[in-house]
Amino acid sequence: MAVPQAVWGIDIGRTALKAIKLKLTGDGSVEAVANDFIEHAAVLSQPDVDRNELISSSLEKFLSRNDISKDGVVVSVPGQHTLARFTKLPPVAPKRLPDIVRYEADQQIPFEMDEVIWDYQTFEQEGLPDIEVGIFAMKRELLREHLLYFEQAAIEPVAVQSSPLAVYNLAHFEGLLSENTTVLLDVGSDNTDLIIGTPNSLWSRTIPIGGNNFTEALVKSFKLSFSKAESLKRGAETSKYRRQIFQAMRPTLSDLVQELQRSIGFYSSTHRDAEVDKIVGYGNAFKLPGLQKYLQQNLELQIDIPSSFNQISITGADSNTLKEQMPSFGVACGLALQGLDKTKVTSNLLPTEIAKQIVWRKKRSAFAAAAACLVMAGALIWFRQTTDMSALAAGAEAAKAVRVSETEAPRIINNGPRSSLPDRAQAQTVVEAGKFLKDKLNQLRSQGQDERNKTSILVQHQRNKTVVLDVLKVVHDSIPQMSESMAHADCQDDVVKAVEAAGSPRGERKQLFVESFDVQYMEDLNVYEWSSLVEVEPAINDPEAEVPGFKLTIKCRTPHQDGAKFISESFMDSLRANGREPDKGFYFDRVVLFEGGKVGALAAEASGGFAGRRANSKVPMDPVTNENTEDDWQFEIWADVILEDYPEAEEDEDVAESEEE
């Protein structure tokens, strides 16, 4: 998409329409050249109001005051109408990433994929192999309903973005995200968008508490109409009943604080390295008396309310309105920055069919000129063709009568047509002979093809029907053998007696317990990056080619003190050896130790919380011997099974024959 020189960001909120026009300067910096703030005649969520009429009226007023015909437009959709899911992917090849994300989107989005518009954004941090992906979606029906207002006003957006992501983009561009973790809080009329972000990642949640909840609290407390309660709330700062107004809103404030604490705590428990150091507030709700102070005291975090831009210069815009309404312009600024291609998050929820219509309308004049040129070129071609056809008409009748038999076709190809025929007829004779022979060849090739295909399928089914059982037997045969007394123990008492008789500490026992075994068929095993914690043999297959087969995930545990070395030498080496026997119809290629560590250390690492780490996590005891398993090792092993005979089998037979000679 070509980047416009000037872009309007338009945010239609519950109380007002906010719009700002940003422009790129010659040196690549950004300046605000226009803005508009149009308050609706009534709050959109107020009972008994015509929402469609109010929005249409605000858009009409905006267009009457601003010329946007030569500018790009980016619009927002409410955060509560969009779905945001965040997941981490293992290291994958870049060309496989879209397929993996599409699979994840199908799992994460709780609707049929044809019912939603979705896009994604990747976040990568230097030094970390994992890729974090944000998947953003909105139901197609809701999106069409929102875009209908702009369509009726003849406004064609180049992009559609969720409000929380627009706020994150502005904060990222303005340098408001610290190296630790920053909370962005956009308190709207109906909802509060919570965005927790760093310069390289984000997480968001929409809380169903906003400015209208404070108004409803005043309605119930003072027995007022909604419109009067809204006026009372807006004038609370100078009202003589300021204290009573704040007391009436305190229960709603308490609910908001609880939801914020719960959300920040959840984020901290899933991001153990996160250290939240400040909150940046957006939204006109922060004009409420005492709101900023109340949140600071209860969340124990500093809250900054932007009153100016850091990276955007103000030239032609209304600086007084911007300064007064700065917290309300967060979404609109983030939208315009995305239109200028100056943002971290570039996902776009504009439906493809609408984008194509917009591009078509913009290029319609060029297409008309091209069509006129085509008509002229077609006329010239027609005239030349008519002339040529007249010249060929003499030999056309003779060519129509050409017929080639089965015996004549080879002779014509080898010796050429009869020289007594006209030129057109000679050419047609060669064409007919070639066509006849080609049809005959295709007929012979196709005979029996269906039967051969069916036979191949049946043979392949016959070969593969026992593969999984054979693979399971290879895994079973590769498990290290226990001592005879331990192997014959068939109850808890016998196991305890065998352990006591052996007299060996738990860390010296050559035992391995398989906790889970998962088999998954993959069209391409190279979609994953097969990195190992220990040194392993290189892959036999080309890592750049598509290799179908089974991916095995084996989770196991061992009390042996050598951990990874014991697993590698006693189990993984056996898997390779037992899985590469000839004439099995399959073989093990890569066997890698994907992840692992001591049980106690893994349990401690998994603990955490908003206030800090929670150490001393409880480690389960051995259910049979009642021994402490803290020093046991847990591992996850990956192996791929290729559905072919081991390729080195034929080479081994050749070597054996040469040695006998």
- Kindly report the pTM of this predicted structure: 0.58
Q: What is the mean pLDDT of residues 430-454?
A: 80
67 belongs to a structural domain: yes
Length of the chain counted residue by residue? 661
* Judgement on whether residues 430 and 318 belong to the same structural domain of the protein: no
* Judgement on whether residues 121 and 170 belong to the same structural domain of the protein: yes
* Judgement on whether residues 320 and 430 belong to the same structural domain of the protein: no
Last-in-domain residue among 284, 305, 326? 305
Range of the domain at 429: 365-446
pLDDT of residue 420: 74
DSSP label of 459: H
452 belongs to a structural domain: no
pLDDT digits (tens, 9 = 90+) for 180-200: 899 999 998 889 999 999 888
pLDDT of residue 2: 59
pLDDT category at 465 given cuts 50, 70, 90 is low
Q: What percent of the chain has pLDDT over 70?
A: 90
330 belongs to a structural domain: yes
User: Is residue 122 pLDDT above 80, yes or no?
Assistant: yes
Based on its alpha-carbon atoms, the radius of gyration of the chain, rounded to whole angstroms, reads 36
Last-in-domain residue among 391, 425, 446? 446
Q: What percent of the chain has pLDDT over 90?
A: 38
pLDDT category at 395 given cuts 50, 70, 90 is low
18 belongs to a structural domain: yes
pLDDT of residue 245: 84
Q: Which residue has the higher pLDDT, 147 or 385?
A: 147
Question: Chain-wide mean pLDDT for the chain?
Answer: 85
pLDDT of residue 637: 94
Return d(Cα 234, Cα 251) in angstroms, integer.
18
Burial level of 110, CB count in 10 A (0-12/13-18/19+)?
exposed
100 belongs to a structural domain: yes
* Judgement on whether residues 201 and 223 belong to the same structural domain of the protein: yes
User: Is residue 147 pLDDT above 90, yes or no?
Assistant: yes
pLDDT of residue 366: 64
* Judgement on whether residues 467 and 422 belong to the same structural domain of the protein: no
Tally of domains within the chain: 4
pLDDT of residue 463: 65
Of the candidates 38, 2, 3, 28, which has an alpha carbon nearest to the alpha carbon of residue 332?
Answer: 38
* Judgement on whether residues 518 and 387 belong to the same structural domain of the protein: no
453 belongs to a structural domain: no
CB atoms within 10 A of CB 648: 13
Contact (Cβ atoms closer than 8 angstroms) between residue 645 and residue 582 = yes
**Strand-pair category, 276-282 with 181-187:** parallel
The CATH number of the domain holding residue 128 is 3.30.420.380
pLDDT digits (tens, 9 = 90+) for 601-660: 887 776 654 334 444 456 778 888 888 888 899 999 999 999 888 886 444 444 445 455
The strand pairing partners of 118, in sequence order, are 137
* Judgement on whether residues 347 and 425 belong to the same structural domain of the protein: no
240 belongs to a structural domain: yes
pLDDT of residue 391: 54
pLDDT category at 411 given cuts 50, 70, 90 is confident
- Tokens 């007084």 — which residue? 320
Per the rule left: phi > 0, alpha: psi between -120 and 50, beta: everything else, 626 is: left
pLDDT category at 60 given cuts 50, 70, 90 is very high
Return d(Cα 620, Cα 293) in angstroms, integer.
46
* Judgement on whether residues 578 and 484 belong to the same structural domain of the protein: yes
* Judgement on whether residues 246 and 355 belong to the same structural domain of the protein: no
pLDDT category at 71 given cuts 50, 70, 90 is very high
pLDDT of residue 319: 77
The alpha carbon of 80 is separated from its chain's Cα centroid by a whole number of angstroms, namely 19
Q: What Cα–Cα distance (Å) separates residue 144 from each residue in 40, 77, 138?
A: 22, 11, 10
* Judgement on whether residues 119 and 235 belong to the same structural domain of the protein: no
540 belongs to a structural domain: yes
pLDDT of residue 303: 92
Last-in-domain residue among 410, 425, 446? 446
* Judgement on whether residues 85 and 162 belong to the same structural domain of the protein: yes
* Judgement on whether residues 341 and 369 belong to the same structural domain of the protein: no
pLDDT category at 393 given cuts 50, 70, 90 is low
Number of Cα atoms under 13 Å in the Cβ half of residue 332: 25
The CATH number of the domain holding residue 264 is 3.30.420.40
